[in-house]
Structure 1
C-alpha cells in the first residue's frame, strides 16, 4: 500500500510552485498597482473564522499553507521543500504519520522566522474545544502535531490515513503566526479584531488598510522570499456592488484589472467582452449551486439561541417533501438562463473530478405532476383550497433565502413558481452577499446561522479529493452558539451512518475505492434531504488584457499565484 494510490493526480516534487513564471523577471513592485474587485466584500482576513470564499481568497494574498494545488489540481510544495510521500519517507508505511520539512530561511512579513511552532499552533487554534473554526474538518483525522526542530512538522493521525493532505494544505488551511494569535485562542477567537483584520503572513502582500465589507489595501511584502516578486507594489481590493458592475469595470471601462466570480447570464458576459478592455476566463471544478434544507427549526419564536439548533424541522425531513421539491425544478432551464456553457445540470454535491461523480440519482427532468402525486400520497393536501398543502396542522410554507445577485434572484422567482404550483407557499428573501457570506457571529443574516427554511448558494473545495469537504457534514461540524456559529455543516444534517461511512473513507486507500465511498456519501446526503443540487458551475472571472500571469485555478484560491501576476509591457 502506498500513499500515491490515494491521489488523483501526480505529486509534483521537482519544481517549486513559486519559481519565476513565464520568464518575467524584474524588480519587486515595478508594475505599480493592480486593482481587484470582488463583488462579495470580505468581512475578515482570518479564513478560520469564515467559510466564505471571498474571505478565504482575500486572506490568501497574506496567509499561505505548507502546500497547495495548482491550476491542474496537482499538489505543489509551497512553504516546504517537497511533498511528503511513502516513497520519499515523508509518510510512514502504516499511513499514521506525515512529516513536513519547512524550507529554510522563510520569514513572516514582520521579519521573524517562520517555524514549526507556527504550524503546530495553527492546529491548536483550529481544534480548541472552546473556539469555533470554520475549517475544522481539515483537522478531523489529526491526533497531534509534533515539532522535533524548527523546520520539522510531524502530524500524527488517529488511524491510518491514505489521504494526508488536508491539514495545512490549500488556501482554506493556511498557517497563522503564533506570536500574533496566541492570545486569540478558544473563546477569544472572534474578539481579536486587529489580528483578524490584519494577519501577519508569509505571502507576497501585507495589509495596510482593511475596511470590512468595503476596501482592502495591500502592499508588497518586503520580506517575501523571492526578491523579484510580487511585480505589483500595491493591491487595491474593492469589495461590494454586484457581479454586473464588477464585470463591466474590467471588460468595458478598464477601471479594474481582475473581477471574480461573474455569476451572470451568458449573453451579458458576451456584451461585456465586446467592450474590448478585458476577457473572461472559465474553468470547471467542483463548484455546485445548491439549495440547502434546514434540518432544525428556524422559527423566530424560538429565540436567537434556539433557532437553527432545536430539532427537527417541522416538515423538511419528510422524504415526500424534499423529493417533491427537487422533482418540481427544471434544472436544464436554470442552466440555460443562468450560465449557458458555463453550467451543467447536476444531481450531486461532488460532480468533479469525474471519478467522484455519482450516477445514482437522475434529476434532469422536471416532473410537476409526479411531485404533486408524491405529496398527495404522503398526506400533504390542500384541504381549504388556498393553494397551500398541509398535514396534521402543519402547512408547507418556506422562507427561501440567498444572496443578492441577478442570477440567483431569477432562480428564486422560477423555483418559487414551481414550488407554489405543487402546493408549497414560498417567501423569498435576498441578503447582501458580503453579509450573507460573512462570519459575523452577531449577525442574524449569515448563511451559517441559517434563519430560514431553505437557502441557496454555491461552494467548492480545495484540491481534487473530497474527503475533508464531505467531512463538513459530520454531526460535530454543526454551527451553533457553542461554536460561535462556525462550522461547515450548514444544513445541520446529522446521521450516525454517514459519520461511520466518512470514517471508512478516511482510512481507505486507492482512488477507485475512495471514489466509491465518496459517491455513497454524496448519495446519502441527497437521498436524506441534506440539500438539492441544481447546477454544476464553471468558475468564471475576467481580467484586463494587459494583466499577465493569470492561471485560473478551480482547485485552490483563485488568487493563488498573484505573486506571478505582472503588467504586460510593464
Structure 2
C-alpha cells in the first residue's frame, strides 16, 4: 500500500464511506497495529480514541443524581490485583484507573496517560524492547496526593512479587519498570515484545497508590485496609463497601477530565440472580444498569416490553467454555486436590476429551438458550478477526463419541455406564447457579448418558463460585470437580494475556493460592513453545499465526469453547452508557450520563 492508497482510505473515513473499524482492519491486514492506525486517523483530523468523549453531552460535572448499578454477583474485595472474578474487577474500576483503556474498536485510549506510545512520538523502541509512558499531569489520588511515576513503579513491584499472589502477576513479572522523571516511566523487556500494551492497560493495568500500599507488600498484601476501602484516581471516591452486598461512591470533585463525572453518586448493588437483575432495569426501572444478563433471550424480549429499559448487546472477547480437569480432583496430595502431581483418570487421554467435545450440542445451546446474545464457537480466541482460527470446527456426534470411548478402553457395563480398570466413568460437573448454565448442564448430561458417561451436576452460588476466598474449596480456581463451566472475557484487543490461561507455568495451585490463570491444569509443551515464540515475534503476520496455533492446540484437548458470548446488559431508557467489548463494562464510566 503506497501513500496515495493510504490517503484515499483516510479520505473515505472522513466522508463516511468507510468506518473507522474498517480502516483499522485494513491496516491490520498490512501489518500495522490498531493503536498506530488510530493515531494515523487522529493525525489526519479523524476522531478515533476521542469518539466516546466527543459524544459526552453534559456541560458540567455533577447534577445527575444517583447512578444505580446492579451486579447480581456481588463483589468481595476492591483490589484490582486480587480480583479473580469480573465482579471484583468492575468494583475496582469505579475507583482505580489504568494508563489506557481499550475502546469498542480495539484501539487504545489514554486514561491516566498523556498519550498512547508510538514510534512516531518516541514512545516505542524500534527493537521492541522498551516503551515509554507519559503520565497525564495534575492527576490526584482521592486523598489529594499527586499521582507520580513512583506509583507506577510500585504497582509493578507489588504485582510481580510472588508473595503478593496477585492475579495480575503474569502481566508484570517479565518486564522491568524504571522511573524517568515524576511523570514518565520506561518499561523494559529482555527480548523483543510485540505486545507491549499489557502492563498498566485495561483490567490488569489499574494503578494503586504507593503511599497507602507500601506497608502491605508481599506476605502482608492481604492485610491492607485499602483492599476494602479503595483510594484511587477514578471518577468516584469511596464511601462504603459491604462485601457480598453493596459498594457506594461519591463524585470525585478533583477528577482529571473536565465536566465529569455527571452523576453525583454511584451505587453497585450485589446479589440476586440475572433474571431479577434484568427485571429491575427492563421492567420496573428500579435500577439504571444491570450487568451480565446471562438470561435466555426469550425472557429478555418479554422483559423489554415493560418499556423501562433496553437490552444492550456488545461483542468482544467473552467466552462461555467447558473445562475438563487434567488432574485428579478426588486424590489429595500434600493437602491439595487437583494437584499437578496427579493425572485425571479419564481426561488425561485425548480420545476421551475429544469424545466429550462431540457430546456438546452447541447449536442447540445457541438456538434455545442464547439467541442474539451468543454464537456457538470452536475457538477460544474469537476476535479481533486476524487472530481468529479458520482451522477449527465443532460437531455434535454421539456415535463418533461412543467409538472414541471404545478405542480408549472405556467399555459399557450391564447398566450402560462405562468403566475401565474397575473405575466407572462418573463425572462431577460444576458451574455457578444461573438458568442458562443449568440448562446447558442438562443438555450435556443428557447427551453424555447416551455415550455411557454418568454425570453428577453441581451448582454453586455465583458469589461463592467466583469468590477470591482462597480457603473456599467451591471456587472455580480450586476446580475440585471433573468438569466445570463459566465465562471470562478477553479484556484486551490482543490474545496474549488471554492465552496465558493455558500455559503450563500459570497453573492454579495451592502454592500460588490458586491465583494462577490456568484453571484446568492442562499442560502441553507444543502450546508453551508456540506461546513463547509469539511473545518475541515482531512480524504481525507471523505472530498472529503462532497465536492461532496456540488456540488450535488448546481447543484440541481439555478446553472446550461453547459460546462466544456478547456482553449483555440491561440499560435504563435514558441512560447513556458507552461500553467496550474489550475492556470492563465500567471502563468508560466517566462518560456515562443521562439524556434529558
TM bracket, shorter-chain basis:
over 0.9
**Residue 538 (1) aligns with residue 566 (2):** yes
Partner of 1:58, secondary structure, is: helix
Q: Is the 8 A contact 2:317 2:491 kept in 1?
A: no
**Residue 285 (1) aligns with residue 316 (2):** yes
| Aligned twin of 2:402 | 372
| Aligned twin of 2:495 | 466
Partner of 1:187, secondary structure, is: helix
Q: TM-score scaled to structure 2, two decimals?
A: 0.91
Match of 2:72 among 33, 39, 50: 39
| Aligned twin of 1:513 | 542
Match of 1:7 among 33, 37, 59: 33
Q: Is the 8 A contact 1:282 1:552 kept in 2?
A: no
Give, in angstroms, the shift of residue 309 of structure 1. Answer: 4.1
Partner of 2:430, secondary structure, is: strand
Q: Distance in 2 between matches of 1:244 and 1:490?
A: 28
Partner of 1:100, secondary structure, is: strand
**Residue 273 (1) aligns with residue 301 (2):** no
Give, in angstroms, the shift of residue 509 of structure 1. Answer: 2.1
| Aligned twin of 2:257 | 226
| Aligned twin of 1:567 | 594
**Residue 215 (1) aligns with residue 242 (2):** no
State how 1:420-499 maps to structure 2 within 5 Å: 420-499=449-528
Relative contact order higher in (CA < 8 Å, ≥ 6 apart): 1
**Residue 199 (1) aligns with residue 230 (2):** yes
Partner of 2:186, secondary structure, is: strand
Q: Distance in 1 between matches of 2:221 and 2:326?
A: 27
Indicate how the Cα distance of structure 1 residues 303 and 94 shifts in structure 2: closer, same or farther if over 3 A, else same.
Answer: closer
| Aligned twin of 2:387 | 356
| Aligned twin of 1:85 | 118
Q: Is the 8 A contact 1:6 1:162 kept in 2?
A: no
Give, in angstroms, the shift of residue 338 of structure 1. Answer: 1.5
| Aligned twin of 2:22 | none
Q: Is the 8 A contact 2:333 2:339 kept in 1?
A: no
Give, in angstroms, the shift of residue 329 of structure 1. Answer: 1.4
For residues 356-382 of structure 1, give each alpha carbon's deviation from its aligned partner in whole angstroms, at most 9, with x where no partner exists. Answer: 11122221x310011001101221102
Q: TM-score scaled to structure 1, two decimals?
A: 0.95
Q: Distance in 2 between matches of 1:126 and 1:496?
A: 27
Give, in angstroms, the shift of residue 316 of structure 1. Answer: 0.9
| Aligned twin of 2:17 | none
Structure 2 gap ranges (5+): 1-26
Indicate how the Cα distance of structure 1 residues 212 and 18 shifts in structure 2: closer, same or farther if over 3 A, else same.
Answer: farther
Indicate how the Cα distance of structure 1 residues 274 and 19 shifts in structure 2: closer, same or farther if over 3 A, else same.
Answer: closer
**Residue 417 (1) aligns with residue 443 (2):** no
Indicate how the Cα distance of structure 1 residues 109 and 18 shifts in structure 2: closer, same or farther if over 3 A, else same.
Answer: farther
Q: In angstroms, what is the RMSD of aligned CA positions?
A: 1.9
Structure 1 gap ranges (5+): none
Partner of 2:449, secondary structure, is: helix
Q: Is the 8 A contact 1:308 1:449 kept in 2?
A: no
Q: Distance in 2 between matches of 1:79 and 1:189?
A: 24
Q: Distance in 2 between matches of 1:183 and 1:98?
A: 29
Partner of 1:442, secondary structure, is: coil
Give, in angstroms, the shift of residue 210 of structure 1. Answer: 0.8
For residues 138-195 of structure 1, give each alpha carbon's deviation from its aligned partner in whole angstroms, at most 9, with x where no partner exists. Answer: 22541x1100211111100020112210111112321111111112222222233x21
**Residue 68 (1) aligns with residue 97 (2):** no
Match of 1:339 among 355, 365, 370: 370
For residues 203-236 of structure 1, give each alpha carbon's deviation from its aligned partner in whole angstroms, at most 9, with x where no partner exists. Answer: 1012211111111111112221135211111111
| Aligned twin of 1:395 | 424
Partner of 1:47, secondary structure, is: coil
